[in-house]
């Protein structure tokens, strides 16, 4: 159970933070279809930064994290720095979308699609040149053992029992998980309880009215897209760090699009989005680790046995588990489309003359 | 001259040429930067890269002295014709949908559905059961039909539940990718004859034959698109009649869209769904049909590509969608969604892809540079209206077309 929860969190966190990225862009009135592309870019920048910093031995940490001892704090600081860098990279990349959508009044769907094509192309191009192969790995170790927070770091013994909550939330977790949760809460407050958030949302509902009250719609939309890009870039890095062992290969397996579905499922509201992300995270977790998943803790991997069963195995197999999140997204879209409350002005370029 | 510039068609062509040039310049700059920062490639290597990216179609490899040589290369030109087929058809798919007010980002999924149906039909009918051309036609039609059905799903969702087709298409893309992988995984179409190849499906040239009561596949007994003499014209290449079929389909789409009532209804529905219904057009039916035809075109793209007999599918596709669908967006946007222009932009896109392969073969660069160029072109086409307006001079501000007005608010429909 503890494994299931922590694994679900690992998949849910990037979905949640990238869905929030979508909210910031759409609430300001710009459709950010480029989330997937920005994630890919962020993942690449993160992997590259780690690779280069390890090579240059910045922070003086090239030993394997297992016997780091007092060094682990330094390691987490390093991780924090990389998160900031990937956020900055995502923000810069999203400027391309902001420029096209806000200044040039371009078709935002095509612009986003173009960025979704540009990002993997650029990333693959550079990975081939840098790594001479199709993927870029960490210079030393992989994320699962390097950046993981383990109970030994809090002074517990390896064999010591620290209870269900401790095992789930303190042992073998990533710092990124908690930073993302804190960021998610802070940014939700920013969006709903501050003057800035109110103005941003106004620009997504009725920019002409907002402008008549002296709000700079261009500036607000730029802020929305840039925050969106920063979150998506960071989300891409978190995804590749926690689920793909920090390997960048120009692909995040459709997570950006799934995040869009989560955003719509969550009706553009942070709390519902967190719930939706957990649900999708659960499915992703089952698809990824059904073979080792021990749900009730009796030492039997139920889903693995089912997939080997001659009858059930025809349906309950890894293909099915991979398929489920997308089918559910589609069904959810079908059932919630009537109640859906998208920002009214999203996707429409702001035109002063339409006031 | 001014009248000439004012014509909408001229401006579209000029906007396209500008987009292509900017894309090529962006690619060249990237090559130059990489060349200058790398000690192995240097300025001379970068210059070679730029020449290949622009004129790779006429590359004939390297001369004995090590310098790049250029000339007529029938193999590359033939391959260009062959690879243009799926690009033209996917471009038509996106273009037709766009003309009718829908953004078909789901061409990849429809392409996969077509791939799956075509290969299943072509490889499941025993070699002697019916004449080969009949098997070919059945397989082709199966691909077209599967694409149409897959395209109809987002169409139905849009027409009846008002779900934004972009999101529905994205989801159906990934569903198709997983479903197709699943289907092939449990099928017996995996290539077992050639031991060195794992993960591939048989080429369609393999035929299902019964040897002593056991069904096996043998090379040479299956079906393949006729070459129609194109292999003599372009020796050593993959060129076949597929390109002719693609051109015929493009012309047919053009005629349907511009000369028939049916095409007019589709377009009217895209321009303003409610006005169209007021005028007596069945809007829901039109939306579903638009997406179904778009899907059929993408399915046809896959059929013609895999029925050629010299292409094989790596069946585990669930992690990566086929690039044809997304390149189709570039083909359509570059052609301003004109079906006839799609033929030329499809050929261009195919050529630029081959330039990338030449670049990867002959220099230290890799083929992803072409994807960068294509992405830049699509990015520019997002504001092609602006470029067109700018070309027409400041005085005549081009009226935004109703179709594009509608297009600018995907996601909005969800709310309505």
Class of domain B75-346: mainly alpha
Q: What's the gap in Å between the CA of B318 and the closest CA on chain A?
A: 9
pLDDT at A57: 73
Q: In B, which residues are within 8 Å of A106 by CB distance?
A: 382-383, 386
pLDDT at A244: 84
CB contact under 8 A, A110 and B172: no
For residue A93, which of A22, A41, A43 has the smallest C-alpha distance? A41
pLDDT at B117: 95
Q: What is the ipTM of this complex?
A: 0.86
CB contact under 8 A, B374 and A329: no
Q: Pick from B103, B378, B411: which is nearest to A114 by CB?
A: B378
Of the two residues A160 and B44, the one the predictor is more confident about is B44
Q: What's the gap in Å between the CA of A108 and the closest CA on chain B?
A: 7
pLDDT greater than 50 at residue B363 = yes
pLDDT at A240: 92
Model confidence band, residue B396 (pLDDT cutoffs 50, 70, 90): very low
Mean pLDDT of B52-74: 81
pLDDT greater than 60 at residue B15 = yes
Which B residues in the span 1-20 are in contact with A, Cβ-Cβ below 8 Å? Answer: none
B401 close contact with A: CB closer than 8 A: no
Least confident range of A26-35, B13-22, B233-242, B382-391: B382-391
Q: Pick from B157, B376, B386: which is nearest to A334 by CB?
A: B157
pTM assigned to the model: 0.86
Mean pLDDT of B348-371: 89
Which A residues in the span 253-272 are in contact with B, Cβ-Cβ below 8 Å? Answer: 253-254, 257, 260-261, 264
pLDDT at A68: 52
Of the two residues B203 and A199, the one the predictor is more confident about is A199
In 3-state terms, what secondary structure has residue A253? coil
pLDDT at B57: 82
Domain boundaries, chain B: 75-346
Which A residues in the span 43-102 are in contact with B, Cβ-Cβ below 8 Å? Answer: 96, 100
For residue A146, which of A220, A67, A205 has the smallest C-alpha distance? A67
Rounded Cα gap, residues A158 and A172, in angstroms: 12
For residue B316, which of A318, A57, A51, A50 has the smallest C-alpha distance? A318
Q: Answer yes or no: are the C-beta atoms of A127 and A248 closer than 8 Å.
A: yes
Model confidence band, residue B398 (pLDDT cutoffs 50, 70, 90): very low
Rounded Cα gap, residues A130 and B244, in angstroms: 42
pLDDT greater than 80 at residue B24 = yes
pLDDT at A69: 55
DSSP A35-50: HHHHHHHHHHHHHHHH
CB contact under 8 A, A347 and B410: yes
Token pair belonging to A312: 């059930």
pLDDT at A61: 59
Q: Answer yes or no: are the C-beta atoms of B68 and B52 closer than 8 Å.
A: yes
Which A residues in the span 118-147 are in contact with B, Cβ-Cβ below 8 Å? Answer: 118, 120-122, 124-125, 128-129
Q: What's the gap in Å between the CA of A171 and the closest CA on chain B?
A: 31
Q: Which helix (H) or strand (E) holds A2?
A: helix A2-27
Rounded Cα gap, residues A321 and A331, in angstroms: 16
Q: In B, which residues are within 8 Å of A116 by CB distance?
A: 326
pLDDT greater than 60 at residue B407 = no
Q: Which helix (H) or strand (E) holds B306?
A: helix B283-306
Please name the residue of chain A whose CA is at the shortest distance from the CA of residue B356.
A125
Q: What's the gap in Å between the CA of B371 and the closest CA on chain A?
A: 5
Query: Per-block average pLDDT, block size 10, for chain A (355 residues)?
Result: 82 94 93 93 94 78 53 81 95 94 87 92 90 83 77 70 74 87 95 93 91 91 95 95 86 86 87 91 83 66 71 76 85 78 81 73
Rounded Cα gap, residues A330 and A63, in angstroms: 46
Instruction: Give tens-digit pLDDT for B211-257.
Output: 887 788 887 778 888 887 777 888 878 888 899 999 999 999 999 99
Rounded Cα gap, residues A238 and A14, in angstroms: 6
Mean pLDDT of B318-335: 87
Instruction: Give tens-digit pLDDT for B255-304.
Output: 999 999 999 999 998 888 889 899 888 989 999 999 999 999 999 999 99
Ramachandran sector of residue B342 (left: φ over 0; alpha: ψ -120 to 50; beta: rest): alpha
Q: What's the gap in Å between the CA of A262 and the closest CA on chain B?
A: 11
Rounded Cα gap, residues B298 and B114, in angstroms: 7
Report CA dihedral (B80, B352, B180, A259) to the nearest 10 degrees: -170
Which of A56-70, A137-151, B31-45, B83-97 tops mean pLDDT?
B83-97
Mean pLDDT of B26-55: 86
Q: Answer yes or no: are the C-beta atoms of B297 and B92 closer than 8 Å.
A: yes
Q: Answer yes or no: are the C-beta atoms of A206 and A27 closer than 8 Å.
A: no
Mean pLDDT of B21-30: 91
DSSP A227-240: HHHHHHHHHHHHHH
Distances (CA, A) of B401 to A7, A176, B99, B101, B255: 49, 47, 11, 11, 21
Token pair belonging to B175: 């569903």
Q: Which domains does chain A have, with CATH numbers?
A: 2-354 (1.10.3470)
């Amino acid at each position: 159970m503890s494994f299931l929860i922590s694994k679900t969190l690992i998949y849910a966190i990037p979905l949640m933070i990238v869905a929030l990225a979508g909210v910031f862009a759409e609430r300001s009135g710009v459709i950010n279809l480029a989330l997937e592309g920005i994630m890919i870019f962020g993942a690449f920048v993160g992997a590259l930064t780690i690779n280069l910093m390890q090579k240059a031995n910045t922070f003086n940490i090239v030993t394997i994290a297992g016997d780091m001892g007092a060094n682990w704090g330094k390691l987490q600081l390093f991780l924090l720095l990389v998160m900031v860098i990937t956020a900055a990279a995502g923000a810069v990349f999203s400027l391309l979308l902001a420029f096209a959508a806000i200044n040039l009044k371009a078709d935002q769907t095509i612009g986003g699609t173009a960025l979704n094509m540009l990002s993997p192309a650029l990333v693959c191009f550079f990975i081939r040149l840098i790594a001479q192969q199709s993927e870029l790995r960490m210079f030393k170790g992989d994320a699962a053992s390097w950046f993981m927070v383990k109970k030994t770091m809090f002074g517990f013994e390896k064999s010591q029992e620290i209870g269900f909550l401790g095992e789930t939330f303190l042992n073998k977790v990533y710092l990124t998980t908690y930073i993302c949760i804190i960021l998610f809460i802070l940014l939700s407050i920013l969006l709903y309880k501050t003057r800035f958030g109110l103005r941003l949302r106004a620009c997504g509902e009725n920019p002409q009215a907002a402008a008549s009250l002296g709000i700079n719609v261009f500036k607000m939309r730029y802020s929305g897209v840039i925050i969106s890009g920063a979150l998506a870039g960071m989300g891409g890095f978190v995804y590749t760090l926690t689920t793909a062992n920090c390997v960048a290969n120009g692909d995040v397996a459709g997570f950006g699009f799934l995040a869009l579905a989560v955003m719509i499922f969550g009706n553009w509201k942070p709390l519902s989005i967190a719930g939706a992300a957990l649900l999708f995270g659960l499915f992703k977790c089952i698809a990824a680790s059904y073979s080792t998943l021990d749900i009730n803790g009796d030492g039997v991997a139920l889903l693995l046995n089912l997939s080997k069963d001659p009858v059930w195995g025809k349906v309950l197999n890894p293909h099915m588990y991979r398929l489920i999140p997308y089918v559910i997204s589609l069904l959810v879209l079908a059932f919630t489309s009537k109640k859906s409350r998208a920002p009214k002005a999203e996707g429409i370029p702001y035109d002063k003359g339409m006031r | 001259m001014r009248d000439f510039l004012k014509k909408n068609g001229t401006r579209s062509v000029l906007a396209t040429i500008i987009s292509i040039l900017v894309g090529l310049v962006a690619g060249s700059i990237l090559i130059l930067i990489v060349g200058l920062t790398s000690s192995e490639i240097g300025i001379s290597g970068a210059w070679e890269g730029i020449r290949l990216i622009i004129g790779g179609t006429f590359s004939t490899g390297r001369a004995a002295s090590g310098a790049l040589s250029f000339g007529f290369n029938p193999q590359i030109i033939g391959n260009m014709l062959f690879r243009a087929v799926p690009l033209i058809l996917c471009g038509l798919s996106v273009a037709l949908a766009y003309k009718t007010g829908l953004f078909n980002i789901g061409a990849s999924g429809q392409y996969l559905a077509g791939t799956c149906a075509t290969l299943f039909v072509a490889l499941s009918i025993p070699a002697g059961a019916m004449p080969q051309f009949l098997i070919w036609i059945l397989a082709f039609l199966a691909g077209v039909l599967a694409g149409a059905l897959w395209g109809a799903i987002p169409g139905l969702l849009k027409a009846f539940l008002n779900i934004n087709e972009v999101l529905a298409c994205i989801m159906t893309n990934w569903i198709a990718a997983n479903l197709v992988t699943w289907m092939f995984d449990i099928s017996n179409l995996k290539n077992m004859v050639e031991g060195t190849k794992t993960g591939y499906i048989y080429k369609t040239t393999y035929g299902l034959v019964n040897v002593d009561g056991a069904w096996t596949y043998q090379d040479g007994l299956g079906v393949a698109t006729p070459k129609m003499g194109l292999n003599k014209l372009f020796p050593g290449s993959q060129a076949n009649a597929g390109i002719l079929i693609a051109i015929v389909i493009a012309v047919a789409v053009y005629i349907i869209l511009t000369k028939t009532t049916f095409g007019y209804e589709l377009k009217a529905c895209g321009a303003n769904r409610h006005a169209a219904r007021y005028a007596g057009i069945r809007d829901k039916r039109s939306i579903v049909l638009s997406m179904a035809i778009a899907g059929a075109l993408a399915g046809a793209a896959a059929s013609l590509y895999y029925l050629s007999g010299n292409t094989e599918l790596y069946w585990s596709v669930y992690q990566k969608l086929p690039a044809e669908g997304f390149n189709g967006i570039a083909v359509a946007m570059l052609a301003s969604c004109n079906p006839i222009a799609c033929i030329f932009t499809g050929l261009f896109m195919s050529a630029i892809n081959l330039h990338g392969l030449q670049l990867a073969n002959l220099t230290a660069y890799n083929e992803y540079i072409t994807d960068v160029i294509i992405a830049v072109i699509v990015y520019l086409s997002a504001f092609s209206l602006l470029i067109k307006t700018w070309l027409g001079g400041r005085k005549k501000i081009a009226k935004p077309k109703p179709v594009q007005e509608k297009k600018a608010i995907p996601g909005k429909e969800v709310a309505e």
